[in-house]
Amino acid sequence: MKLFYLAFAGVLYLASFAGDAFAQAADHYLTIQLKSGPVVIQLMPGVAPKHVAQIEALAKKGEYDNVAFHRVIDGFMAQTGDVKYGNMEKGFDASLAGTGSSDMPDIPAEFSKTPFVRGTVGMARSQDPNSANSQFFIMFADGSFLNGQYTVVGKVVSGMENVDKIKRGEGQNGEVSNPDRMIKVTLAKK
């Protein structure tokens, strides 16, 4: 009987941690205002704490405001977040958009078992898995080939219809001429 009580206490103890992680993730939201309306992303600090912290820090400083969706591939994803070359009101350079980052350091990969499905938000990076910085992408469709290769930082919980209206790029790389932008990016805790 003692063993049963110990096992039950252990289950309750573990459940309290799981509950805390879920509650923690449920408190972090990023709202992106697009020309077609808002997109609300539930960030996942329990899955990628360093990446989420960096996104939140950049959003708090207004770094994501007016940043272009420089790479948009129909049926795949929309990429944004180049705060160095992608700000359409300060120093926008279409030829360099997608090559820049922030003044903050790159972040080591935080790969997880969270799958890339429609609405998943992942961090963009170079060939080096530890090179994510400020750029991220929103999935238009499932992309299981990205699972375990890129860091998942969140998921769209409302406004996916607005993501679907982002101007698409051309060619294999999805480069966008006269791109749509994130008009305003704010944080909220619910």
The tens digit of pLDDT for each residue in 39-55 reads: 999 999 999 999 999 99
Confidence of residue 190 (pLDDT cuts 50, 70, 90): low
Report d(CA 146, CA 116) in Å as an integer: 6
Q: What is the pTM of this model?
A: 0.86
Q: Alpha helices, DSSP H only, in 27-123? A: 49-60
